[in-house]
Structure 1
Amino acid sequence: MLLINQAVRLQVDNVLVQYHIFDVNEPLMVTFPPSCQVMSQEQVDAKKQAWSFQFFTKKKMNVISFNHIGSTKNYFDSTLFAVFVKGLACDLIRFPKRIGYGSSLGGYATAFHADNLRLDKALLLMPVSTYWQPSAPWDPKLIEHFKSQQRDMSHIDASECKTPLTIIYDPLYVPDTKHKQRFVNCVASYRIPGVGHRIARALLDIGSLKETILEFRSGEIDSERFYKQARSRRSLSYFFRSLDEKHVGKISTKRLAIIYLHKFYRYKQQSIELDKIKNRLQESVCKRLDYVCCLAHGKGVLALRNAAAGSALVFC
């Protein structure tokens, strides 16, 4: 039985479960994190907060957050956790809406457990559909996972999820596009081309992440607002970084020209910044040597000053 009006932490096998229920008449968010948010047992014991837990609790929104412990190879697939999820589902029926939210590995885990949790819908950012590499040979991320797997995981596949899914992904990034295509019940999708497997980071950097999550919680994502904000992705440092290497289908000459134009422009910007740094260092060296010259007299010192200034320019 879920406790009301208090923050609760418990550990189920290798998963941290953290929840806070403010009002059972309001929607409940159920969240799973990306692999980079894995916790060590020491962090769990030190009361580190589960991924996304604070975001929702600060807004007084009902939330249950699951966080993997110990390894990025933790796929939320332990038998004990599966039993816990099925039991938890009975407590979740009382909420008017049960909404899933996950990113990358978290998208996989959300979809994998969505049906057992009886979720009404789920928002997935660049979700992985399976970690069984033979089922997704086009995803290089899975190679290392496959090498370390000590059991057959072919049956642990999130793509068959029956819960309605909304997916945000980069259509130009081959692995994420093919994962998205495997989900049989993707009812809506939003695209952010050119950012690769960085959807959550890109949404955060362009100031769209919070609005997107809250809109989805209350209903549907405002597509006009979403795509208007998505235009600013062109200002991100990692935009266009690898579009000429990882793309879907044949890349056009026009698109390739635009990519290299932006790469050149960013390189030029970086070169300008390096020139500024070089000039400041040179000015700093000259000022210090001028001070030395004021303390001493003679051509020997002046010659030393000139030589040092010249070598400083070469060094920079």
Structure 2
Amino acid sequence: MKLLYWLDEWLTLSRTEQQTKLPMSGSDLLGDVFVKYDFVDVNKPLLFTFSPAGTNWQEQDLHANFAPWGYRLAQKQNVNIIAFQHLGKSNWFRNRNLIFFLEQLSTLLTPFNCRLGYGLSRGGFAVGAFTNLLKLDQVLLFHPVSSKNKKLVPWDDRSSTDIAQQFDWQKDYHDVDLGNAKGYIIYDPTNRIDRMHAKRYPQLTHLRVFGMGHGTHATYLNKFGFYKQVAVDFIRHQQIDIAQFRLQTKTLRFKEDYYKKLNKANANSTHRLALLSTAHNILIDEKHAHMQEQKDKIDVQPLIDIAITHQHEHPNDAIKLLEVAQQLAPEDPLIDHKLKQLK
């Protein structure tokens, strides 16, 4: 646990001296969790990330350039990062070595005035469970699992819940504990279990994305950079522009491929396919209205002016310009008149 020894000595220095010791990076193995850290500036945020399910690396996969989930993203934003990567498929960050490390680490973070947490699903559970311990100020959670303690979440009947019972869900850090932290939780309200877990984070700002799902379709959102852009805004500004977020999710829903993926992911559920079909039809009408609204905002007069100016020298080009203008403004009588003249 090299980081703990280094921090312990680093804390004895003045703030100016602490800054001169940076950058500092390294890694360690904490039982079945790999941790990698990079400290660049004592005056910048310190970000904690915990890996989600699906990133099932093994110890033999680790190498000098291995980067845990979220590590590269933090580096690109030039903030301090401590990233935790679970090893193995069924791993809920319950290893005693990890917990001991975090308990010791929590006493050595006083130089960092801004501490952030970011996690998806299983990683969201870990962020929520350790937030109060690490005294995080702001967190960003995507469809997190609040706990796998069946007494607390008896309605979570996913297969992962039964598998997770191999771990102790009675001892410390087995449930969400946000302390005084604020932040955001993003999830699909049509997903019953995600919705129930989200209710256990009342102090966070809830941002709902219909059709986002959990797992298959959530991974698909990476194609459009959905997670990355939201995370970047959060890391840079410690807040999310909610108006921009709404616009981004609306634009995403206009993509036909989005519904194809959702239909494929729900192929075995007649009920969900019916709901998706209804939602898709509503969005088709909404998309048409949106496109018409954008067309109404387009000023076609410059196209008309150019066409009229060159109608004698280049009549065919003038016709093509007017035809484009007519597509954008089909009700404009001047365009129709000029086309009839030229043809």
Query: TM-score, normalized by length of structure 1?
Result: 0.71
Distance change (3 Å), C-alpha of 1:244 and 1:62: farther
Distance change (3 Å), C-alpha of 1:187 and 1:105: same
**Alignment partners' CA distance in 1, 2:177 and 2:231:** 24
**Alignment partners' CA distance in 2, 1:4 and 1:203:** 36
Which consecutive residues of structure 2, in runs of 5 or more, have no partner in the other structure?
Answer: 1-5, 8-20, 284-343
Q: Does 1:120 align with 2:137?
A: yes
Distance change (3 Å), C-alpha of 1:216 and 1:88: same
**Alignment partners' CA distance in 2, 1:43 and 1:257:** 42
Structure 1, 88-97 or 114-123: larger mean CA deviation: 88-97
Deviations 1:64-114 (A, max 9, x none): 100111x23211112221111121122322112000000000000011111
Distance change (3 Å), C-alpha of 1:160 and 1:98: closer
1:195 Cα deviation (Å)?
2.1
Which residue, out of 157, 165, 175, partners 1:149? 165
Distance change (3 Å), C-alpha of 1:187 and 1:145: closer
Q: Does 1:67 align with 2:90?
A: no
Which residue, out of 219, 223, 226, partners 2:245? 226
Matches within 5 A, 1:127-138: 127-138=144-155
Letter in 2 for 1:136: V
**Alignment partners' CA distance in 2, 1:205 and 1:45:** 27
Deviations 1:265-285 (A, max 9, x none): xxxxxxxxxxxxxxxxxxxxx
Letter in 1 for 2:249: A
Q: Does 1:29 align with 2:55?
A: no
Structure 2 residue aligned with 1:306: none
Letter in 1 for 2:246: Y
**Alignment partners' CA distance in 2, 1:174 and 1:154:** 25
Partner of 2:204, secondary structure, is strand
Structure 1, 238-247 or 192-201: larger mean CA deviation: 238-247
Which residue, out of 185, 190, 198, partners 1:167? 185
Q: Is the 8 A contact 2:90 2:163 kept in 1?
A: no
Matches within 5 A, 1:163-242: 163-184=181-202, 186-198=203-215, 201=219, 203-217=221-235, 218-234=237-253, 235=255, 236=258, 237-239=260-262, 242=266
Deviations 1:116-156 (A, max 9, x none): 11111211110001123443233332x34424633541455
**Alignment partners' CA distance in 2, 1:134 and 1:246:** 28
Letter in 2 for 1:81: L
Structure 1, 186-195 or 154-163: larger mean CA deviation: 154-163
**Alignment partners' CA distance in 2, 1:214 and 1:96:** 19
1:202 Cα deviation (Å)?
5.3
Letter in 2 for 1:130: S
Query: TM-score, normalized by length of structure 2?
Result: 0.66
Structure 2 residue aligned with 1:91: 108
**Alignment partners' CA distance in 2, 1:256 and 1:52:** 31
**Alignment partners' CA distance in 2, 1:244 and 1:221:** 36
Distance change (3 Å), C-alpha of 1:246 and 1:210: same
Percent pairwise identity: 28
Distance change (3 Å), C-alpha of 1:41 and 1:230: same
Q: Is the 8 A contact 1:123 1:167 kept in 2?
A: yes
How many residue pairs match? The answer is 255
Distance change (3 Å), C-alpha of 1:121 and 1:200: farther
Distance change (3 Å), C-alpha of 1:196 and 1:257: closer
Which consecutive residues of structure 1, in runs of 5 or more, have no partner in the other structure?
Answer: 264-316
